[in-house]
Copies of this chain bind each other. A is one copy, B any other.
Amino acid sequence: MNLVEIYFKMKKDVQYIEDELEKSIDTEVRELYQSSTHLLKAGGKRIRPVFVLLGGKWGNYDIKKLKHVAVPLELIHMATLVHDDVIDDADKRRGRETVRTKWDNKVAMYAGDYILARALAIAAQLPIPQLHRILAHAMVEVCKGEIEQVKDLNNWNQNFRTYLRRIKRKTALLIAISCQMGAVASGAAEEIVRKMYWYGYNVGMAFQITDDILDFTGTEKQLGKPAGSDLLNGNITLPALYAAHHGRSREQFQTWIAEEMFWDHVHEAVQMVRNDEGIGFSQRLAERYIARARAILADLPDNQAKTSLLGIADFIIERKF
């Protein structure tokens, strides 16, 4: 079953969540409304809500309850995007690109705070303390991941473990709790709740690794930004780490790094990573995470939700965009 079919089967409920998302950030404060809906209107795969709904299929599926989990998780994701944008704008302002006006950045930072607060307010309406604990803990970890990403910028003195911990916090955790919280909200059995978490964790890890591969192998048209953007921005991902420490060009990398000349050669480096064994290595790692995600589902009863979760897992590593 491909992704379109999976979405199609859930389209009524996905649309319901979409409508709730739009309502969720409605406010009489005009600037907030405009900046928040701007991002919402830009769309997205809404993969977190989809995982919540699929997690909810393992208990008493109730969209009226699940929305109190699905909407906050998508909003939290959006809030982190808004804050990342503030940071990116700040960069450009100091660099060579457009200077944004003072107004925009202030509104963007507080809009991120506002979206986050709305997320919590919607989650708080569901009186299940366990859900609040899961959500709050995940937010703490996401923040740590964001700081780590800032700290690890331009830092070659990191290893695979640093990278994996960072993407766990940055991406995998929110996907893991999407599946988990859907199951909790529907009152699914403890064992299934656990399986949903670990399925989501493994799929999330594969998702981010694939993202980091595509950043090198995709075309500018597919990506909507120049290939190699991560490395150009100092974000050192798995393919680049592999190339620098284990790949066929590692000596060249190490020389540039040792002589503090790496950033002068970063465009050459992007080409090297693209042709390096690090791409294959990263792909195999992503595949291993997907295999684990599939294995976790293995002894669950066969049903529509399981078929969809397996389908999404396959899509994650096959996708080209």
Please list the residues of chain A having a beta carbon within 8 angstroms of any beta carbon in chain B. 27, 29, 31-32, 83, 86-87, 90-91, 94, 102-103, 105-107, 109-111, 113-114, 116-118, 120-121, 123-125, 127-129, 132-133, 135-137, 139-140, 142-144, 146-148, 150-151
Contacts and interface: CB of A to CB of B under 8 A. Distances in A.
A116 B116 contact: yes
Chain A facing B: main interface SS: helix
B144 A106 contact: no
A123 B144 contact: no
Contact of A29 (B83, B90, B147): B147
Contacts of A120: 120, 132, 135-136, 139
Contacts of A133: 121, 124-125
Contact of A144 (B32, B94, B116, B151): B32
Given A102-B91, A105-B90, A148-B29, A124 B129 contact: yes
27 contacts: A29-B147, A29-B151, A32-B143, A32-B144, A83-B109, A83-B110, A83-B113, A86-B109, A87-B106, A90-B105, A91-B102, A103-B150, A107-B150, A109-B109, A110-B146, A113-B146, A114-B143, A114-B147, A116-B139, A117-B140, A117-B142, A118-B140, A120-B120, A121-B139, A123-B136, A124-B136, A125-B133
Contacts of A32: 143-144, 147
Nearest to A133: B124
Contacts of A148: 29
Nearest to A94: B102
Contacts of A136: 117, 120-121, 123-124
Contacts of A121: 133, 136-137, 139-140
